[in-house]
């Protein structure tokens, strides 16, 4: 098989596993109220989760860090990120055209609303990092650097999932935070 066929087979395999997972997850979500839906657009959306584009996003963009919930950045940010993958925060994260188009469309469709919520007062801006959003900085300003860059198990704020155990699902409530070497966060 050539590499492309392999990839398609790979996506199919993920699609099937994903649908099963989704069915189980969907059941566990019914009746549960979800406070953090706004961070989670596209991930919570059941048709989004198992679509080939969502799978491609998770596979390609979840290899070095979590596949960040698309709602955390506005569309303009995702578009800049997707057009500069050859120089991605010092790494080469280049992909071929097909996946780029698919993932860009997926991210654009599920991007956050500029000017609202976490992206308040950011209309017209296209930050490349979630960790540079004023909202992000404000929410984390009580977390000392020694627990982040000074903590070998964390390293950087970009590793959301190390502290937020349900980050990939877009859940960031304080009660799901556990910092390695520190424990639960109470403030």
Minimum separation from the CB atom of position 62 to ligand HEC (A): 8
Minimum separation from the CB atom of position 13 to ligand HEC (A): 20
Taking the least distance from each CB to ligand HEC, the nearer of 97 and 187 is: 187
Q: How far is CA 140 from CA 22, 77, 129, 153, in A?
A: 31, 21, 14, 17
Taking the least distance from each CB to ligand HEC, the nearer of 45 and 159 is: 159
The SS3 call for residue 120 is: strand
Minimum separation from the CB atom of position 157 to ligand HEC (A): 5
Strands annotated E in 97-181: 178-179
Please give the residue ranges that form the binding site for ligand HEC (CB under 6 A): 60-61, 63-65, 68, 72, 81, 85, 88-89, 91, 93, 103, 129-131, 139-140, 142-143, 147-148, 154, 156-160, 162-164, 172-174, 177, 179, 185, 187
Nearest to 45 by CA among 63, 69, 65: 69
What is the rounded distance in angstroms from the CA atom of residue 115 to the CA atom of residue 136?
14
User: Would you say 55 and 11 are in contact if contact means Cβ atoms under 8 Å apart?
Assistant: yes
Minimum separation from the CB atom of position 138 to ligand HEC (A): 9
Taking the least distance from each CB to ligand HEC, the nearer of 18 and 102 is: 102
């Amino acid at each position: 098989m050539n590499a492309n066929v392999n990839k398609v087979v790979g996506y199919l395999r993920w699609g099937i596993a994903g649908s099963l997972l989704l069915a189980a997850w969907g059941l566990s979500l019914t009746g549960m109220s979800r406070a953090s839906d706004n961070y989670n657009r596209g991930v919570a959306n059941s048709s989004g989760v198992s679509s080939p584009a969502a799978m491609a996003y998770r596979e390609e963009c979840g290899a070095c860090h979590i596949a960040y919930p698309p709602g955390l950045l506005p569309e303009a940010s995702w578009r800049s990120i997707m057009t500069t993958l050859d120089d991605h925060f010092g790494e080469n994260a280049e992909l071929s055209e097909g996946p780029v188009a698919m993932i860009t469309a997926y991210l654009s469709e599920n991007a956050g609303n500029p000017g609202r919520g976490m992206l308040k007062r950011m209309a017209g801006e296209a930050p490349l990092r979630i960790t540079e959003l004023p909202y992000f900085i404000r929410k984390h300003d009580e977390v000392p650097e020694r627990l982040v860059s000074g903590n070998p198990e964390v390293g950087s704020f970009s590793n959301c999932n190390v502290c937020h155990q349900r980050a990939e699902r877009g859940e960031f409530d304080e009660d799901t935070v556990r910092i390695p070497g520190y424990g639960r966060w109470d403030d």
